[in-house]
Amino acid sequence: MTPIAITMMIIAILTVWGGLAVALLNLKRHPEDEGALPEEHAPEL
Amino acid sequence: MSSPSSSSAEPVKRETFSTRRLFILSAIGSAVGLGNIWRFPYIAYDNGGGAFLIPYLVALLTAGIPLLFLDYAVGHKFRGSAPLAYRRLHRAAEPLGWWQVLVCFVIAAYYAVIVAWSLMYTIFSFTEAWGDDAEGYFFGTFLKVSEAPGVGFNYVPSVFFPLLLIWTVVIIIMVAGIRKGISRANSILLPLLMVMFLLLVVQSLFLPGAAEGLNAFFTPDWAALADPSVWAAAYGHIFFSLSVGYGIMVTYSSYLKRRTDLTGSGMVVAFSNSGFEILAGIGVFAALGFMAQAAGAGVNDVVTQGIGLAFVAFPTIVSQAPLGALMGVLFFGSLVFAGVTSLISVLEVIVAAVQDKLGWGRVRTSLVVSGLVAAVSLALFPTATGLYLLDTSDAFVNSFGITLGALVTVVVLAWFLRKLPLLSAHLNRTSTIKMRGAWMVLVAGVVPLALIYLVFNEFISKISATYEGYPEWFVGLFGWGMAGGLVVLALVLTFIPWSRKSKAHHDPEYQSMIDEDEAEAAR
């Protein structure tokens, strides 16, 4: 591969997958507030 | 429920995704579809290669994600299927919901057909049934496409029966409901899709010529950034890719529990979708690089998208590559799984809407609604003329169903009903990433401008020449007529009264949420 293609590939992967990693980290830092949730199976099931 | 006799007085509780994780998986399953695999790689290549990353990310951040959150806010705040949620937002907005439901009806009917083809091609991969003429095999031997477009009932059994099988599986998932059906299907199929697709990408990267393919895909053409059509392509792709603006995300988020991190979850969904697309670009172009080398041609000579990529180029690659059968199974199997998880989300829009309108139970609604879509799908598409119909309905429902529908929805919500401050407040109540003034500017400004440009372009291109040179009556009926018919039918459905049993009239669960919200606001 050419250097410019490699560079762009790395930038693409870093921005998009990096964005995903940040989004996942943010979610992990704020766990679900299970206490406030109604926990009931729908009766038709 | 405390007592069985209370069922008519107290409607059954709305089903929910049991965890945030399952919602995220299902939303990713919906967003990741055929388009990520067969559309994105070509769009990126054709619009600046590596340089496309810039308009792509800009479109994602300024239009895709804001619109995704708009859908989330409407579905989650008003806790209903698209028509019910928009009706609760404002009575005048109900037709928007029905329009989205009808768009989903059309999409589901033809989308299932492509999944059925992919299923057959997964099996064909073992024997390389297409021989050395993948194109002739697909259009001639397999689909038996007739010479001219028209309406015929010349059924092709090799498409009809796999389609019947796909519908049977999908109906079972729909009948099982949100937790036992949709959540479970996504939690199995999505990880499986990821593993299979990763294997496919790795295998493609080891093919001779792969580097040439990646060069073609990633080498930036910076001059493309000055071309407005490249930016339009980025916005257009983002709208389709994220499944925003036609009811899916409204419906799915209505099944979320009350205190949920909407924006935090949405960011994961949006970036997973894009992450998958980048991966697909790498896999597809590595394979195309191999195909070009084997043919002694340039990558630009073999590059293609959509049906041509999946059912002509890929079979050719499968025939030539070492361990080709494995590659075929991974590729077509991925199409099947990506397709099924998207198909069920499209169907859920219709099922949820009918369930809300008529006050029916889950099982009955799923059977009737999915059965009806399946019947239409099986009657019209697995025929010798089905491909023409599929192509036309796809083109018109995308332009004048999804895109135009999203434009009207955004303009009505932002400019006529002025609901963005209310929706912004809802998003910020429980979410980690706050959506304030900037979000409203993007939704009320950037999104409609991009959509106006896209709809205008589509209108000009479709009016200046009859689509694909098909007969005028055919495009008039199944293109323009179908797209216009959806709007008329949406208005008709709005005027049909909601059932007495419907949650539109009596929904204690929703009422108690409003009371809670008001109490919280007063504090």
pLDDT tens, residue by residue, B6-61: 444 455 788 999 999 999 999 999 999 999 999 999 999 999 999 999 999 999 99
Say whether B185 sits in a helix, a strand or coil. Answer: helix
Q: Which residues contact B464 (CB under 8 A, 6 or more apart)?
A: none
- DSSP type of residue B419: -
- Asked if the C-beta of A25 comes within 8 angstroms of chain B's C-beta atoms, the answer is no
Exposed/middle/buried for residue B465 (C-beta within 10 Å: 0-12, 13-18, 19+):
exposed
pLDDT of residue B4: 42
Nearest to B492 by CA among B357, B294, B344: B357
B92 within 8 A of B310, measured Cβ to Cβ: no
Residues of A in contact with B14 (CB under 8 A): 42
Pick among A1, A22, A34 to test the B interface (most B CBs inside 10 A):
A1
Dihedral over Cα of A40, B498, B363, B3: its sign? positive
Query: How far is the C-alpha of B361 from the C-alpha of B314, rounded, in Å?
Result: 43
CB pairs under 8 A between A and B: 117
DSSP string, B109-168: HHHHHHHHHHHHHHHHHHHTTTTT-HHHIIIIIIT---SS------B-HHHHHHHHHHHH
Confidence band of A32 (pLDDT split at 50, 70, 90):
confident
Are A42 and B432 a contacting pair at CB < 8 A?
no
- Asked if the C-beta of B218 comes within 8 angstroms of chain A's C-beta atoms, the answer is yes
Per the listing, tokens 């979320």 go with B256
B97 within 8 A of B247, measured Cβ to Cβ: yes
End-to-end CA distance of chain B: 31
Beta strands in B220-269 (DSSP E): none
Among the partner residues B179, B220, B264, nearest to A30 by beta-carbon distance: B264
Say whether B177 sits in a helix, a strand or coil. Answer: helix
What value, to the nearest 5°, has the Cα angle with vertex B251 and ends B250 and B253?
70
Nearest to B388 by CA among B478, B314, B485, B482: B478
Element (H, E) at A39: none
DSSP percent split of chain A into helix, strand, coil, nearest 5: 65, 0, 35
Query: How far is the C-alpha of B502 from the C-alpha of A2, rounded, in Å?
Result: 62
Element (H, E) at B15: none
Side-chain-side CA neighbours of B429 within 13 Å: the count stands at 18
Among the partner residues A5, A16, A19, nearest to B214 by beta-carbon distance: A5
Distance from CA of B430 to the nearest CA of A (A): 10
Dihedral over Cα of B508, B513, B514, B518: its sign? positive
Distance from CA of B219 to the nearest CA of A (A): 5
- Which amino acid belongs to residue A14? L
Exposed/middle/buried for residue B103 (C-beta within 10 Å: 0-12, 13-18, 19+):
buried
- Tell me which residues of chain B have a pLDDT lower than 70: 1-11
Instruction: Enter the tokens of residue B429.
Output: 């109540």
pLDDT of residue B6: 40
* Residue A43 reports pLDDT greater than 70: no
Are A8 and B363 a contacting pair at CB < 8 A?
no
B238 within 8 A of B59, measured Cβ to Cβ: yes
- Residue B191: CB atoms within 10 A of its CB come to 12
- Asked if the C-beta of A10 comes within 8 angstroms of chain B's C-beta atoms, the answer is no
- Which amino acid belongs to residue B199? L
Query: How far is the C-alpha of B252 from the C-alpha of B111, rounded, in Å?
Result: 19
Per the listing, tokens 């910076």 go with B222
pLDDT of residue B293: 96
- Asked if the C-beta of A3 comes within 8 angstroms of chain B's C-beta atoms, the answer is no
pLDDT of residue A34: 57
Are A41 and B179 a contacting pair at CB < 8 A?
yes
Per the listing, tokens 């109604």 go with A38
Query: How far is the C-alpha of B29 from the C-alpha of B222, rounded, in Å?
Result: 33
Dihedral over Cα of B62, B68, B72, B78: its sign? positive
Angle separating helix axes B404-411 and B94-127, nearest 10 degrees = 150
Dihedral over Cα of B218, B219, B223, B224: its sign? negative
Among the partner residues B13, B219, B432, nearest to A4 by beta-carbon distance: B219
Say whether A3 sits in a helix, a strand or coil. Answer: helix
Q: Cα dist. B217→B232, B243, B309 in Å? A: 19, 25, 15
Per the listing, tokens 């959806």 go with B486
Instruction: Enter the tokens of residue B381.
Output: 């598409």
Nearest to B269 by CA among B31, B439, B53, B19: B31
Say whether B455 sits in a helix, a strand or coil. Answer: helix
Q: Which residue of B has its CA nearest to A23?
A: B268
Q: Which residues contact B463 (CB under 8 A, 6 or more apart)?
A: none
Dihedral over Cα of B99, B102, B106, B109: its sign? positive
Query: How far is the C-alpha of B483 from the C-alpha of B102, rounded, in Å?
Result: 10
Query: How far is the C-alpha of B120 from the C-alpha of B113, rounded, in Å?
Result: 11
pLDDT of residue A33: 67
Distance from CA of B274 to the nearest CA of A (A): 7
Pick among A2, A9, A17 to test the B interface (most B CBs inside 10 A):
A9
